[in-house]
């Protein structure tokens, strides 16, 4: 079997944790995206940007694009975890995994995930920024009715390859989940030496620490990716 019962439980916890974390901190992610894309906001603090968004665009504006993002996050998690565990089952074959193997498997799984799900994230970025009031006048607003319409308009106006805008920085960003899983698997192995299984709290804590390390290392490339995802559309409209 590709997944052991422990792998399935941990995967469910990580996926559920990702959705919960994204929902709770979604307004902060909205502020991050605005600061990355809108140059004239770069001197503003996060809470100032959020207050401006709420004042100018409405109370629910920080959650604009939540459903498409959550849907894509679930798809992305499924692709990544399935690929990672499938490759590990084929390579490790009952042997003890190592940090080096986890890093390689995480990188390969990340590449597969990027190639399959980049179109979803390109559409997500545009939907999150739709209706935003930018300080930068060079940004041209879009008018999408939803995910399907966004796909249709992008393919019609910019070509199929536009759905893979930002693929190069995204491929570099596969080090993010690779680094995350390297630390996560390492922490998990250490904890499992002292107990039979991980608790939900254990999985949450080591997952959060691993994600924080990975995000800190790869944040500059996230900025480049966000800009490419959105500005390609501005150049064509």
* Overall average pLDDT of the 7-31 stretch: 75
Number of domains in the chain: 1
pLDDT in tens, 128-173: 888 888 777 777 777 888 889 999 999 999 999 989 887 877 787 7
Average pLDDT, the chain: 79
Higher pLDDT pick, 2 / 175: 175
CA 227 to chain CA centroid, nearest Å: 15
CATH code of the domain covering residue 152: 1.50.40.10
pTM: 0.67
Where residue 9 falls among pLDDT bands split at 50, 70, 90?
A: low
Q: Which domain holds residue 195?
A: 5-236
CB of 84 within 8 A of CB of 110?
A: no
CA 123, CA 134: separation in Å to the nearest integer? Answer: 19
């Amino acid at each position: 079997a590709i997944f052991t019962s422990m792998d399935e439980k941990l995967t469910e916890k990580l996926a559920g944790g990702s959705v919960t974390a994204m929902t709770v901190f979604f307004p902060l992610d909205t502020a991050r995206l605005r600061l990355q894309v809108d140059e004239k906001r770069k001197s503003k603090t996060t809470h100032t940007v959020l207050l401006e968004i709420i004042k100018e665009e409405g109370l629910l504006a920080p959650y604009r694009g939540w459903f498409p993002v959550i849907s894509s996050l679930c798809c992305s998690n499924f692709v990544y975890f399935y690929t990672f565990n499938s490759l590990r089952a084929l390579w490790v074959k009952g042997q003890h995994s190592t940090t080096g193997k986890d890093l390689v498997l995480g990188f390969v799984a990340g590449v597969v995930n990027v190639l399959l799900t980049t179109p979803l994230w390109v559409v997500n970025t545009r939907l999150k920024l739709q209706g935003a009031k930018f300080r930068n006048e060079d940004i041209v607003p879009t008018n999408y009715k939803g995910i399907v319409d966004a796909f249709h308009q992008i393919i019609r106006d910019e070509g199929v390859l536009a759905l893979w805008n930002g693929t190069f920085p995204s491929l570099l960003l596969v080090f993010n989940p690779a680094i995350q899983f390297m630390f996560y698997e390492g922490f998990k192995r250490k904890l499992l030496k002292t107990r039979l299984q991980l608790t939900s709290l254990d999985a949450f804590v080591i997952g959060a620490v691993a994600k924080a390390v990975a995000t800190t290392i790869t944040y500059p490339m996230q900025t480049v990716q966000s800009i490419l995802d959105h500005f390609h559309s501005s150049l064509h409209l």
